[in-house]
Chains A and B, each alone.
Chain A
Amino acid sequence: MIEPGQIELAAMIPPDTFDAAAQQAAAELGEQGGGRMQKAMSGLAGQRIAAAMAEKLKQIDLLPMFIQGWGKSPEIEAEAKASEASGEPRFIRLGKLEQDLDLYPILGISGFGLSANPINFTLTLKAEFEAVEVGIEKAYVVQIGGGLCRLAAVLKLGQFSFPTGVDPVEWQVGKGRKFEKPGVPLLPNQAKTKA
């Protein structure tokens, strides 16, 4: 579900990008001896892949996934530990951060009583956060506000990359977003406990 303050990934990846990737997948299946059936299915699937993948991407909440990576910065980790030790909420204002996040869409296609080999994509997201204010409680991010976030995406299939051809999406954090308690964990041991 898209909530206020959530980054909508589907806006960054036009259907044509998925279509190009699906065509490449079909060609590779043919070269690998995948058979006419698999090639036909994959070739036909391009537009439907785009629609189905875009729908699936809408359901992914990216922001918490990026935030979990913030704790890998020694400075932010120190703030998280300080808030954990004191038990008091703390606020930090981020400077300019750059982060990468990989997602791995796996597409299965079946029809006519057969199933094609799964197609494994990689979706690399590049985020740039600037001047975002972060509320921390007990080493969990409980809210963010202000500042902005720029996001760009690259879809990959094996050694091939499919540029989206769109400018990075800029998202004004504005009033921001509150996360359900306890929040988004900043320290690795908290993430494991939550999982």
Chain B
Amino acid sequence: MLLARDLAKRYGDRVALDGVSIEARPGEVVGVLGPNGAGKTTLVSILCGLRRPDRGEARIGGEDPAAAPSARARLGVCPQEVAVYPELTAEQNLRFFGGLFGMRGARLAERSRAVLERVGLADRSREPVQKFSGGMRRRLNLAVAMLHEPAALLLDEPTVGVDPQSRSHLFEEVARLRGEGRAVLYTTHYMEEAERLCDRIVVMDLGKIVAQGTLAEILALGGTARRVTVAFADGGAAPDRAALARAAAPAEVLECGPVSVVLSAADPGALLPALLGHLHAAGHAVAGVEVERRTLESVFLKLTGRRLRDE
């Protein structure tokens, strides 16, 4: 339904996209994860027909969105910024954007009511948007994208600056869109969102795809070893490193100090009984144990050497 094939785009000397290929099928939510400057917004703007790629092709339902109005008619776009008119009411905004998609009369009124119900704004439909909270505006932003019942949706960082309640609302909507058989491309730099919402994830950095697949497949790219940290309560002498290494084998001891020890283990579940038994026998009072959870953040860090979010 939604396809990007070998897309490349430059702005002067800067490479925005370099050989990016992505596909979202009906009933599938594909997450595009990457830090600022990864090329996500350029990808979205090519897919919705705003820009033409230097190389490659974009297709919505098999047609080029930059050339075919029918391709754009199949697509709902929820831009990163809240792209509605704050002076107008929610209803007026929907009437305008619906008109752009050829909707009018009873169908437009019915669809407006329906999407406002879905995003929880039905009771505020006649208020100017400028009176809405940030989260309500974001929900209206999504409502506009859903208004004409598109087969494919581009949601470009739809939860930026959103309160937890609205975020939860938006997550429910994305899940519902998938349930309705729509193809959704969801860009974000929040790994939690990608992990929670997406069937497949594309990790981008500096205009290139660095990894793509299901969550499990991506996490596997981060390697098998996980960090296990054991903290001590008494703050006495550091454990004997050689004895610890023998007890924890085949895990590797990374740090060994009076406050804590850190090990790298492929199977933390198997490591912990022997490790804790050894430390108890050696007279160390264990205050806590922390096993690293493998995340997209850690995978991204491993793959690119950079963090997902700006520090």
Q: Do A and B associate with each other?
A: no
Instruction: Report which A residues bind B (CB closer than 8 A).
Output: none
